[in-house]
Structure 1
Amino acid sequence: MIQEKNGLLVIKGTKFYYVLMFLATVGFLIGCVFLIINGLKFNSKYSLFYLGGGILFTPFYLYLTLWSLHGFIPGKVLFKIIPGEATE
């Protein structure tokens, strides 16, 4: 959602993107837990790949989730853009 206030372009998130971001971050974390659980069963020749992938990607997605939490606050301004010519 883009609004103009005092010559500034203010960009806020919409509820659709809040839901989409929540589903993505939670889905990735659930997927990593699923990989770890199935890797620990050792009933497939790919169990070590499941376990390794789950352990490798869990901290990465947890990091992304923690850094994106502040964007879930409804009505929070995500970006402020000052229109004008670009300077080098």
Structure 2
Amino acid sequence: MISLTANCTGTLARGQFEEVMLQSHDHTDAVLPAGVNLLDEVFTEILTEKGLCRDCEAAELIARTLFALFQSGVREKEVLRNLAMDYAEPEVREKSC
């Protein structure tokens, strides 16, 4: 199992996150309905906050990031949200709907 350490604000250095993203493929557990609901809730909150539609490139990046974080073991809503936004923010600004 992959261990992910974040500080109390849920931030993670970009290099550390990319390493976790690469390692996340080692975690093969299925995402159960409760996990899907959590990911959808966080995803929807981020899209609403950023004014993004669900079918744009920025939304796809956010979704992939959330899924990778979840597969790496991150299960807390605020930590998922903060880490996904920290990682995706530069791309979101460039690829907004």
- Asked if these proteins are the same fold (TM beyond 0.5), I'd say no
Higher radius of gyration, 1 or 2: 1
TM-score by length of 2: 0.28
Of Structure 1 and Structure 2, which has the larger fraction of its residues in helix?
A: 2
